[in-house]
Structure 1
Amino acid sequence: MNWQKQRQHVLDRLAFLPGGTDREGNALLVVSTSQVQECSYENLVSLLALLSDTLPPSTLFTVLIDTRHIHLKQLKFYLRACQQALYKKMRQVLIIQPEKFLEQQKINFDLIVCGYTSKTVLISMHKLSKFVDVNQLPEQFGGTLGYDPDTWLSKRIEIKKWQNYLAEVDTDGSRHNPDEDQKLDEFVSKLQATKLVEDEYAANSLKKSIRELKAKEEENSKEGLIKDHTAGVSDFLDWIEGSGEKWLNSLCQVADNVDEAEGLVKQHEELTNKTKEIEEQSHQLAEMATRLMAACPQVAIVLQKTREQIRDVAEHFAYRVEAQTQFAVSNKNFREKVAEFIKKSDQMLEKVCAEDEKTVKPIEELTSTKKELDELVNSMNVAYESAMDAGEDTIAKARQYAEVLPAEEFVAHIASSLNYLSQKQNRHNELASVKRLEQQQHIQLMTTYGDCDQAIKWLGELKETLHREYSLSDIDEGAVRNLRNDRQDLDKTAISTYQYGKQLLSMAKNSERSSMKEGSTEERKEKLEAAWKELDLAIQNNEQRLKVVESFMATHRQMMERVNEIERSLRERLRVSGKLNSITLSTERKRLRHDVDELSKCGNLLSTQINADHTTTAQDRQNAIKQISDKIDEVMTAQRRMESLIGEEEEAGSSSSGKEEKHTPRKSRPLSKVPEEEGGDLSPVFPRAVRLLETNEGIAPAIRLSKNESYL
């Protein structure tokens, strides 16, 4: 079938198979009525024959001719060509009659006169569906069946191409191409999917040709296949027992470092890839043997034994390769872990063996160095554990494949490496322990220095606290008593801190000697002693001031008691006798005035010294000075109140009292030295007041200061 010559006629739809059928199942063939003048009779017959050959030989045709626009002569041309090309295949001819009645009669008469062998039916266009369903008619006859001449022709040309390919392969087996076979199978599947009669017929024809070709090839290649199979088995066994065995034995070893382990793993990977090819070859040989057993029953027993031998040899060789590969990978992992452990241990050893300066470093630097060493030791120990685990896994892997590996030799080699790692790790940990102990001593020394500095700082802070919070801001017995109690606690804290500092200095000295470091213990000792001296001096000054204030307040209290006692005695005497002893009153009043003056001078001196103490705030100083002044004013107020009792009587007896004093002058004495005999007629109140002054909590009963004596 030469479709290239008929290409233009097919594209012009001179005659075509739309793919439809009539109601009786006959294939529908349409002959065009517009290209008759351009096509010869021979070409038309050839085209109709080609169209007929695209369907099975048993196919019957219903030819459809449209005569509405042609002459009777052209109709005869069509009918004669169809009758010649479709001999005994043309079931009937459907002629669409022209519209004019006269032309219809001419055609009808001609059909009767000529007597065509096939059935001819003259019908109108609207009655065409009586013979052919609308969905089986092409569009030009009012149907819905689509037809594309380009697609239809391209299929026929490709079918012809594959028919030629199969013919060439049948003639010359070397032209056989698996890629082309795959394309041919895809094309056949594509034809079958169209569900058109001509496509299905072409697909079946191609499949039949393929089957015949394969059967012929199998028949011709049985002997060659047996020879090829025998040669393949021989080559397979030669490689396994020769080159493969030597290659496998050369890789059966234990690597001692990472580079050797990596090289072994790479070579095992290459051997594994080659083994996969050998396994694939064994599968192909086994499959070929299976086919040959079916095709050549006379050699089936030999082929079966050969197939089993190939499988056993290939599986055993692949198992050995897998065993050695697994051990090589495990050994590589072990050597990598060993290398990592050696790297970490070297880093730790470098840190341990680094030269240490004799000078004392800051505690932050020492702590950072110790932390780095701890991290390196921990990292080394983690790497050691990983290496030991990897070694145990490698030993387990060797024992797992003991039937194909020299397991005892491999286990002894790995165990030796693990023993070396264990000894190395123990030695490095001992060195690290010594180094960490030394670092801990240094840190302890610096901590002791810091604590000593803190003790010195605390002594300074206690001194500042003494000046700031233990000042005389309130001249009151309760406040002074509380201040003394608090001060005693401060004294205890100060002594405890000083003793603690001395202990720290002793510890620092011992640490310096043990670590052979140059320190600054003597310098800190001097600072500690200086701070303690300053604090001790401040405590002594504070103590002296407290004693003076306490003496001042005791004197104030005694004088208030004296004034009150004298006032009560005077009131009692006046109530009993109605008069007073002017001599006795004059002496007591003189002594009392002298003591008040002394108390005033003492208060002024105390105020002056408080005002000069700038360690306290101005407000506290002013408050203390005011309280001193108030106490002095309190005594003077009580004195004036007493004087007011005897003012009149003193004025009345002033002349007589003056004479007696002039004749019997007396030396002024303190109140405590006045004998009880004086003023024998007085109430025994004065002696009791004197005893109160002498026994009041062991404090001096009165303050006597000369003009050159200092208050403190």
Structure 2
Amino acid sequence: MHGADEHGGAQLHSGLLARHPQNVIPAEVSLVCVVKPDEFWDKKVTHFCFWKEKDRLGFEVILVSANKLTRYIEPCQLTDEFGGSLQYDHMDWLNKRLVFEKFTKESTSLLDELAIINENEKTTQPDKSRPSECNALPSFDPETVLQTGHELLSELQQRRFNGSEGGGGGGGGGGGGGGGGTAWSPMDDELLAQPQVMKLLDSLREQYTKYQEVCRQRSRRSQLDQIHTKVMQVVNWLEGPGTEQLRTQWGIGDSIRASQALQVKHEEIESQHSEWFAVYVELNQQMAALLSAGDEEDLLELKNLQQQLSDVCYRQASQLEFRQNVLHSAHEFHSTAQDLSQQLDGLLGMLCADVAPADGAAIQQTLKHLEEKLKSVEGALQGLREKGQVLLDQISNQTSWFYGKDMQIENKENVDHIHSVMEDMQLRKQRCEDMVDVRRLKMLQMVQLFKCEEDASQAVEWLTELLDALLKTHIRLGDDTQETKVLLEKHRKFVDVAQSTYDYGRQLLQATVVLCQSLRCATRSSGDTLPRLNRVWKQFTITADERQHRLETARDFHAAAERVLRDSPDQAGLLDLESFDEVETVGKALLDRLTVPVIFPDGSEQFFGSPSDMASSAENIRDKMKLVEDKRLQKESARPLEEETAPEEFPDES
């Protein structure tokens, strides 16, 4: 600072004016020029002795007029008011000075407070019961003070650059600035303020960084305290009311409805636990985040809290799951028992109901239905045993998580109930099996009865078919003795088949009588099938006998005719009239028999074959009889010649 102005406005006392720079910026002052107005020089009055004050002030004070200032100060450092070229806005300088002083005051105060807070934080041991004054806050917001300092430093640096480059810098603040484009230089105090601001900012940033760490530690300790409180709340509830709720739940119910009621109660307990488990999840995430931060002093405490909370929650969750599994198994057991009971009731109803199947197919369907029912019951009983064993195994392990409570009495009640249900179902199933065996035997006998009746009817049909074949197709009598013998042999075999069919039918009908007696039902077949069988058999035997007689007559006819018609010279003399008469007699008898129908006991008549078939057979017989007759006529015509030659031959022989 080089001078002070006293020539405009109110005049200050020279002594006070000289002492003011000493009080404010003594190190930067080398000379004080007091500019007096022109009237001062006229009066030459002053009350301040400048040479006496030099030693005490540390700088020289002189009185000068405005037009002589350039002797002591460069024109570039003087404003236009004093004939210089310095662009200076006092209001702008004043505003910046106020900002600087405000920042200096606040930052200095803030530095002291932050230093105290940081020092207290170092000396105070972390304790949950630490006094509240240890958590004191600074009077000023560090962020705001730092922001003000950065803005001030930026402004000072800008003014310095503008001054050095000759840029157009205007005054700021409320005093307005110099004209646009007019160069001016920053004041010396502004140049000196810049390193001071930078130093304050550096110190402030250092202390603020430490304070931020203090705040982080405070937040961490507060968070730890909150986590510890919440952890203990969760642990205390789970080990207290939560555990007590599970202790009261041990039964499995005695029916589906009872097990469902227990399931509803368990769901209510689970719902209450789920709220605390949600808190556990949140706390676990918070603790995991703190553990990842890597604060060595809190790692052990956090891990212990996390382990304690996890152990309690997992143990309680496993107990809930175990109880849920027991209730689920109990529900499945009761459900299977109820389903089995209904199946047994249905099977028993079928077995107790009277059955009157219409035929063997209906019986087979009924038997199949019974077998399916019994198989289903067996499967359900096996499922009940398996589910009961699972439930018994779970109940036997139930004491492991009941915290020392004696569960023998309660478990015995549950175990006895499970065994009782399974034994009762086994007895009911055994009774049904016995009844099924009886019903199966009865059904099989009925199947045999229907089968015998069906086969007996089939035997009647077969016998009827044999009779029909005998009448319609067994019509040939043979053209010679050999063929007739073959037909006789075939006829005997045919009759044997019919006899076997008849015997088979009789045996079946006898079996139906025995089965009806066993089944205690009226004889079903003797009133219908047996008379039909006997009637058809009687018709067959009459027809077969007639066929037998015709074949035998035809055999005799062909044999007699063949003897007559044989041209052997050795046998020619043996033929006599009786042989020819025999052929004629047998032939006529055979022809007569062909025209006679078969008469059945009921008076009905049947012919062998068709009329054309009968005519063809008769024609063959007549043809052979004609041959025999021709042979006879030939024999009779040759007899007189034999008689004439006979006397001549006999004498020669004698």
Q: TM-score, normalised by structure 1?
A: 0.54
After superposition, the C-alpha distances for 1:592-619 in whole angstroms (9 at most, x for unaligned) are 7655654564454255448996431455
For 1:248 and 1:642, how far apart are their aligned partners in 2?
Answer: 133
For 1:352 and 1:540, how far apart are their aligned partners in 2?
Answer: 54
Q: Tell me the CA shift for residue 287 of structure 1.
A: 5.5
**SS at structure 2 position matched to 1:521:** coil
After superposition, the C-alpha distances for 1:27-75 in whole angstroms (9 at most, x for unaligned) are xxxxxxxxxxxxxxxxxxxxxxxxxxxxxx99xxxxxxxxxxxxxxxxx
Q: Tell me the CA shift for residue 493 of structure 1.
A: 2.1
For 1:423 and 1:386, how far apart are their aligned partners in 2?
Answer: 16
Aligned to 2:622: 629
Aligned to 2:444: 440
Q: Tell me the CA shift for residue 352 of structure 1.
A: 0.8
Is the contact made by 2:471 and 2:606 (CA closer than 8 Å) also made in structure 1?
no
Structure 1 gaps, min length 5: 1-56, 59-83, 93-113, 118-210, 571-587, 658-678, 683-712
**SS at structure 1 position matched to 2:400:** coil
Task: Find out whether 1:481 has 2:481 as its counterpart.
Answer: no
**Selected match of 1:375 from 372, 377, 380:** 372
> How do 1:89-168 and structure 2 match up within 5 A?
none
Change (3 A) 1:645 1:268: same
For 1:593 and 1:537, how far apart are their aligned partners in 2?
Answer: 32
**Selected match of 1:245 from 224, 243, 246:** 243
Q: Amino acid of the residue matched to residue 380 of structure 2? A: A
For 1:503 and 1:439, how far apart are their aligned partners in 2?
Answer: 21
Task: Find out whether 1:318 has 2:317 as its counterpart.
Answer: yes
Change (3 A) 1:595 1:427: closer
For 1:310 and 1:460, how far apart are their aligned partners in 2?
Answer: 97
Task: Find out whether 1:393 has 2:390 as its counterpart.
Answer: yes
Aligned to 2:192: none
**Selected match of 1:550 from 555, 564, 570:** 555
How many aligned positions are there?
452
Task: Find out whether 1:532 has 2:537 as its counterpart.
Answer: yes
Q: Tell me the CA shift for residue 415 of structure 1.
A: 2.9
For 1:372 and 1:645, how far apart are their aligned partners in 2?
Answer: 92
For 2:468 and 2:159, how far apart are their aligned partners in 1?
Answer: 135
> How do 1:270-289 and structure 2 match up within 5 A?
270-285=268-283, 288=286
For 1:486 and 1:506, how far apart are their aligned partners in 2?
Answer: 30
For 1:637 and 1:568, how far apart are their aligned partners in 2?
Answer: 15
> How do 1:44-443 and structure 2 match up within 5 A?
88=161, 218=216, 221=219, 224-225=222-223, 228-285=226-283, 288=286, 306-357=305-356, 361-400=358-397, 402-404=399-401, 406=407, 408-409=411-412, 410-443=414-447
After superposition, the C-alpha distances for 1:155-181 in whole angstroms (9 at most, x for unaligned) are xxxxxxxxxxxxxxxxxxxxxxxxxxx
Is the contact made by 1:473 and 1:624 (CA closer than 8 Å) also made in structure 2?
yes
Is the contact made by 1:330 and 1:393 (CA closer than 8 Å) also made in structure 2?
yes
For 1:239 and 1:636, how far apart are their aligned partners in 2?
Answer: 136
For 2:316 and 2:343, how far apart are their aligned partners in 1?
Answer: 41
Q: Tell me the CA shift for residue 516 of structure 1.
A: 0.9
Is the contact made by 2:239 and 2:312 (CA closer than 8 Å) also made in structure 1?
no
**SS at structure 2 position matched to 1:443:** helix
Aligned to 1:514: 518
Change (3 A) 1:631 1:234: same
Is the contact made by 2:452 and 2:512 (CA closer than 8 Å) also made in structure 1?
yes
Q: Amino acid of the residue matched to residue 623 of structure 1? A: S
For 1:428 and 1:594, how far apart are their aligned partners in 2?
Answer: 85
Aligned to 1:450: 454
Aligned to 2:501: 497
After superposition, the C-alpha distances for 1:346-382 in whole angstroms (9 at most, x for unaligned) are 221111111335xx73222222222211111111111
For 2:162 and 2:492, how far apart are their aligned partners in 1?
Answer: 142
Q: What is the aligned-residue identity percentage? A: 20
Change (3 A) 1:455 1:367: same
For 1:289 and 1:622, how far apart are their aligned partners in 2?
Answer: 123
For 1:614 and 1:257, how far apart are their aligned partners in 2?
Answer: 82
Change (3 A) 1:554 1:263: same
Is the contact made by 1:448 and 1:507 (CA closer than 8 Å) also made in structure 2?
yes
Aligned to 2:546: 541
For 2:162 and 2:270, how far apart are their aligned partners in 1?
Answer: 66
**Larger deviation, residues 392-401 vs 498-507:** 392-401
Q: Tell me the CA shift for residue 500 of structure 1.
A: 2.2
Q: Tell me the CA shift for residue 423 of structure 1.
A: 1.9
Change (3 A) 1:624 1:253: same
Is the contact made by 2:597 and 2:608 (CA closer than 8 Å) also made in structure 1?
no
Is the contact made by 1:258 and 1:336 (CA closer than 8 Å) also made in structure 2?
yes
Q: Amino acid of the residue matched to residue 428 of structure 2? A: K
**SS at structure 2 position matched to 1:403:** helix
For 2:433 and 2:354, how far apart are their aligned partners in 1?
Answer: 19
After superposition, the C-alpha distances for 1:604-639 in whole angstroms (9 at most, x for unaligned) are 425544899643145533432232122112212323
Q: Tell me the CA shift for residue 234 of structure 1.
A: 4.2
**Larger deviation, residues 437-446 vs 283-292:** 283-292
Aligned to 1:186: none
Is the contact made by 2:584 and 2:625 (CA closer than 8 Å) also made in structure 1?
no
For 1:437 and 1:89, how far apart are their aligned partners in 2?
Answer: 124
Aligned to 1:584: none
Aligned to 1:605: 592
The structure whose Rg is larger is 2
Structure 2 gaps, min length 5: 1-149, 152-156, 166-180, 185-208, 599-604
Q: Tell me the CA shift for residue 425 of structure 1.
A: 1.7
For 1:622 and 1:460, how far apart are their aligned partners in 2?
Answer: 26
For 1:590 and 1:512, how far apart are their aligned partners in 2?
Answer: 68
For 2:339 and 2:162, how far apart are their aligned partners in 1?
Answer: 90
Q: Tell me the CA shift for residue 547 of structure 1.
A: 2.4
Aligned to 2:113: none
Is the contact made by 1:327 and 1:397 (CA closer than 8 Å) also made in structure 2?
yes
Is the contact made by 2:319 and 2:401 (CA closer than 8 Å) also made in structure 1?
yes
Q: TM-score, normalised by structure 2?
A: 0.58
Q: Amino acid of the residue matched to residue 423 of structure 1? A: L
Is the contact made by 1:474 and 1:623 (CA closer than 8 Å) also made in structure 2?
no
Q: Amino acid of the residue matched to residue 337 of structure 2? A: V
Is the contact made by 1:610 and 1:625 (CA closer than 8 Å) also made in structure 2?
no
